[in-house]
């Protein structure tokens, strides 16, 4: 069969960031994939070498806008390891809260984009609407929607005010019902099942061979989570579960991320309710020569920072390994052998619309509301049932 | 203002281009299209192809690999075309100003119509910037020249 080459990118409407995939096709089947990156290279490791230790937190924050907590967290861990100090307990709690808030907004963002990729923009709109609530929480806690600027070697820059805690608690409580509704909608949806179950399977052996990290590994049954294996922050003092599934397909990756959001809510609530008093930073004197490592569980997996100092106010080497670096090569495993989806997108696109339900109401000519948001949700649930019945499930 | 201009300003279609950004600006752009901010109220829509676009939203610190591609994309854009620089990176390269891979700020590569500062700018700021752009095009005399 003749082979066709299909380039995707570097500027593709579906992708957030520039990256370039080269798919080799035989008919509808993908037989090979190649990847070219570098469209986003900004030389951050080199930049870090010309900044003072306190400035680097702001540079590494801008490695990735979504993980703008994970990188400073790992970096401060590395410098604290080099200094052999530990941040005071209140700072540790605040760090944990911010990190979990970031995990929630990141997972919601991904879930929304996954819906967008399936041609299911409803999920996209819904997730991102919910994500705004979490960004509000982050704005109350840190003053910023993204790029929180909370982390500092030896502590945090900004304290959580007592009067903010009930407001945040209330916001988080209000998120739970919507999240549960979203969970049910995604887990029950026949179209999402059809589009994601058994698709892009990464076996446990392959997950280990490729050294995958984070939800990608946990979806394949590899129970690895830095928060459990090598606790940092206050994760070892809290009750929470690691979510692991075993199929390794796209559906499991969705399921893991939704499960983790509920765990994150649990962690934030516990942290806020038992936030200890005291200082939020400790005194940092000169940085001695030496080296330090820091690794934390970012929303996408293990994020690793290495810092080497020669006793001046700048590091001589700063090495960063982000989780996606480990997870990218699994494309070879998951994409090859699959088909380029087309008809299924059409099917997904006609599915019930949840996002409109929150914004519109249908009125008759006399100005009375005929359908409220709740009614429309019920209508679309009925439609989902109908589709399920039609598909024979 | 002719009928073409009138129609043009009523429904601007935007194309979003990241040239070495940290992703946050791009996310805030997408945020503008989601229910809370809903920029589609103003007739703006995200388009998949540069050949359908009226406005090019550029984020990021324009790295070496992106410069030739950015120029090519700009050339493929049909006239009339507008360019909006979003975020500190696109304005002045922000924290990446000393990087070996970001040699030029965006407006040295292609002409820019509106600058929206912030790291990242809030969706409200992005919307305000785009509205200002429309207003300025409608009444070029009222506004100070940028
Ligand atoms: S301006 Fe700030 S938020 Fe925007 S891409 Fe640059 S570093 Fe990221």
CATH of the domain at A130: 1.10.645.10
- Residue A242 and residue A385 in one domain: no
pLDDT in tens, A70-119: 889 999 999 999 988 989 999 999 999 999 999 998 888 888 877 887 77
| C-alpha to C-alpha distance for A225 and B25, rounded to whole angstroms | 29
| Rg of chain B in Å (alpha carbons) | 15
User: Is A311 in the same domain as A377?
Assistant: no
**Residue A343, pLDDT score:** 29
- Domain co-membership, A219 together with A331: yes
Cα–Cα distance for residue pair B81/B79, rounded to 1 Å: 5
* Chain length of chain A: 393
Tell me the shortest Cα–Cα distance from B19 to chain A, in angstroms.
7
Between the alpha carbon of residue A203 and those of residues A212, A244, A252, the distances in Å are 11, 14, 12
Contacts of A180 (CB under 8 A, 6+ apart): none
Which helix (H) or strand (E) is B55 found in, with range? Answer: strand B55-59
Q: Is pLDDT at A386 greater than 70 in this prediction?
A: yes
Burial zone of B4 (CB within 10 Å; 0-12 exposed, 13-18 middle, 19+ buried) = exposed
* Residues A284, A375 within the same domain: no
The full set of domain ranges for chain B reads 7-138
- pLDDT at residue number A393: 53
Residues A258 and A372 in one domain: no
- Determine how β-strand A369-371 pairs with β-strand A362-363: antiparallel
A171 and A54, same structural domain? yes
DSSP string, B101-122: T--S-GGGTS--SEEE-SSSPP
The answer on A194 and A82 residing in a single domain is yes
b/e string for A347-365 if b means 16 or more Cβ within 10 A? bbeebbbbbbbeeeeeeee
Q: How confident is the model at residue A13 (pLDDT cuts 50, 70, 90)?
A: low
Question: What integer pLDDT is reported at residue A61 of this predicted model?
Answer: 86
pLDDT of A320 reads: 86
B7-138: what fold?
A: Rossmann fold (3.40.50)
Residue nearest atom 8 in ligand 1 by C-alpha distance: B22
Digit-coded pLDDT (tens) for A299-335: 888 888 899 999 888 899 888 888 877 777 777 777 7
* Residue from B62, B97, B120 whose mutation best tests the ligand 1 pocket (most atoms within 8 A of CB): B120
Subunit contact A47:B98, Cβ cutoff 8 A:
yes
Q: What is the pLDDT of residue A264?
A: 92
Q: Residue A27: inside a domain, yes or no?
A: no
Centroid of ligand 1 to alpha carbon of A64 (angstroms) = 9
Comparing A130-144, A338-352, B95-109, B114-128, which segment has the lowest mean pLDDT?
Answer: A338-352
Going from the Cα of B97 to the center of ligand 1, the distance in angstroms, rounded, reads 12
- Model confidence at B60, pLDDT cuts 50, 70, 90, reads confident
From the list B17, B26, B99, the residue facing A47 with the nearest CB is B99
pLDDT band at A352 (very low <50, low <70, confident <90, very high): very low
Give the pLDDT of residue B142. Answer: 62
Q: Which one-letter DSSP state was computed for residue A65?
A: S
- At A375 the pLDDT is 66
What percentage of chain A's residues is helix, strand, coil (to nearest 5)? 50, 15, 35
Find which of A302-306, A350-354, A358-362 is predicted with most confidence, using mean pLDDT.
Answer: A302-306
Provide the residue range defining the domain that includes A374. 365-393
A65 touches chain B (CB under 8 A): yes
To test the pocket of ligand 1, the residue of B22, B60, B95 to mutate (highest count of ligand atoms within 8 Å of its CB) is B22
How far is the centre of ligand 1, averaged over its atoms, from the C-alpha of B124 (Å)?
16
Per the domain annotation, does A307 fall within a domain? yes
Of the partner residues B22, B26, B34, the one whose CB lies closest to the CB of residue A125: B34
The total number of structural domains in chain A stands at 2
Residues A223 and A282 in one domain: yes
* Same domain for A324 and A178: yes
What's the pLDDT tens digit per position in B72-113?
889 888 888 889 999 988 888 888 888 888 888 888 889 998
* pLDDT tens by residue, A164-212: 899 999 999 999 998 898 888 888 888 888 777 877 788 888 888 888 8
The residue with greater pLDDT, A35 or A78, is A78
Structural contact between residues A18 and B60, judged by C-beta atoms closer than 8 angstroms? no
Question: Which run of H or of E encompasses B100?
Answer: none
Residue A25 included in any domain: no
A9 lies in some domain:
no
- My answer on whether A58 and A89 are in the same domain is yes
pLDDT per position as a tens digit, B110-121: 999 899 998 889
Distance of alpha carbon A58 from alpha carbon A55, whole angstroms: 6
The total of other beta-carbon atoms located within 10 Å of residue A220's CB is 26
pLDDT tier for residue A349 given thresholds of 50, 70 and 90: very low
Taking the C-alpha atoms of residue A129 and residue A126, their distance in angstroms, rounded to an integer, is 5
Q: Are residues A244 and A380 in the same domain?
A: no
Cα(A98)–Cα(A271) distance, integer angstroms: 10
DSSP element (H, E) containing A25: strand A20-26
* B61 in Cβ contact with B96 (< 8 Å): yes
Q: Using pLDDT thresholds of 50, 70 and 90, give the confidence band for residue A345.
A: very low
Rounded CA-CA distance A320/A307 in Å is 9
CA neighbor of A294 nearest in space, from A68, A75, A121, A32: A75
Please report the pLDDT score of residue A358 as a whole number.
29
Please tell me the predicted confidence (pLDDT) of residue B125: 92
A153 pLDDT higher than 80 = yes
Q: Are residues A110 and A224 in the same domain?
A: yes
Q: Flag if A40 and B27 touch (Cβ within 8 Å).
A: no
Task: Provide the pLDDT for residue A122.
Answer: 84
Instruction: Check CB contact of A41 with chain B, cutoff 8 Å.
Output: yes
For chain A, what is the mean pLDDT?
80
Percent of chain A with pLDDT over 70: 86
Q: How far does the centroid of ligand 1 lie from the alpha carbon of residue B92, in Å?
A: 11
Measured distance between the N- and C-terminal CA atoms of chain A, rounded to whole angstroms: 36
Q: What is the pLDDT of residue A372?
A: 58
**Residue A32 falls inside a structural domain:** no
């Amino acid at each position: 069969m003749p082979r066709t080459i299909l380039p995707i990118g570097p500027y593709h409407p579906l992708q957030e960031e520039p990256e370039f995939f080269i798919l080799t096709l035989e008919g509808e089947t993908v037989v090979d994939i190649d990847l070219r990156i570098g469209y986003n290279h900004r030389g951050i490791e080199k930049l870090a070498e010309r900044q003072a230790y306190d400035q680097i937190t702001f540079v590494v924050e801008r490695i990735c806008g979504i993980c703008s907590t994970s990188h400073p967290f790992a970096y401060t861990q590395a410098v604290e390891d080099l200094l052999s100090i530990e941040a005071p307990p209140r700072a540790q709690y605040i760090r944990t809260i911010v990190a979990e808030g970031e995990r929630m907004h990141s997972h919601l963002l991904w879930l929304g984009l996954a819906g967008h990729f399936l041609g299911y923009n409803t999920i996209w709109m819904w997730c991102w609407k919910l994500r705004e609530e979490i960004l509000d929480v982050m704005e109350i806690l840190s003053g910023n929607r993204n790029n929180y600027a909370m982390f500092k070697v030896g502590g945090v820059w900004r304290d959580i005010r007592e009067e903010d805690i009930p407001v945040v608690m209330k916001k988080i409580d209000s998120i739970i019902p919507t999240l549960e509704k979203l969970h049910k909608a995604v887990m029950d949806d026949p179209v999402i099942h059809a589009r994601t179950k058994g698709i892009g399977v990464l076996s446990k052996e392959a997950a280990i061979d490729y050294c995958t990290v984070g939800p990608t590994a946990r979806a394949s049954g590899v129970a690895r989570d830095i928060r459990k294996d090598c606790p940092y922050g206050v994760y070892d003092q809290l009750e929470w579960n690691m979510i692991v599934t075993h199929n390794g397909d796209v559906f499991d990756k969705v399921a893991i991320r939704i499960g983790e959001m509920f765990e994150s809510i649990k962690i934030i609530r516990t942290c806020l309710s038992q936030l200890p008093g005291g200082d939020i930073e400790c005194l940092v004197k000169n940085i001695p020569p030496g080296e330090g490592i820091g690794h934390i569980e970012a929303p996408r997996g293990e994020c690793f920072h290495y810092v080497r100092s020669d006793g001046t106010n700048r590091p001589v080497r700063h090495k960063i390994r982000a989780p996606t670096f480990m997870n990218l090569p699994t494309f070879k495993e998951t994409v090859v052998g699959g088909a380029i989806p087309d008809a299924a997108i059409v099917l997904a696109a006609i599915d019930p619309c949840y996002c409109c339900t929150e914004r519109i109401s249908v009125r008759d000519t006399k100005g009375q509301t005929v359908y409220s948001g709740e009614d429309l949700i019920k209508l679309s649930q009925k439609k989902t049932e109908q589709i399920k019945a039609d598909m024979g499930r | 203002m002719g009928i073409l201009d009138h129609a043009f300003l009523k429904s601007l279609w935007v194309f979003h281009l990241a040239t070495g950004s940290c992703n946050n600006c791009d996310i805030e752009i997408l945020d503008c299209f989601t229910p809370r901010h809903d920029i589609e109220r103003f007739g703006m829509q995200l388009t998949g192809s540069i050949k359908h676009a009226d406005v090019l939203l550029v984020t990021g610190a324009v790295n070496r690999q992106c410069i030739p591609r950015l120029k090519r994309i700009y050339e493929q854009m049909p006239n009339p075309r507008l360019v909006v620089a979003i975020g500190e990176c696109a304005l002045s390269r922000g924290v990446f100003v000393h990087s070996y891979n970001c040699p030029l700020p965006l407006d040295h590569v292609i002409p820019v119509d509106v600058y929206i500062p912030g790291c990242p700018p809030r969706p409200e700021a992005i919307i305000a910037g785009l509205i200002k752009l429309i207003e300025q095009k409608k009444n070029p005399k009222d506004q100070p020249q940028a």
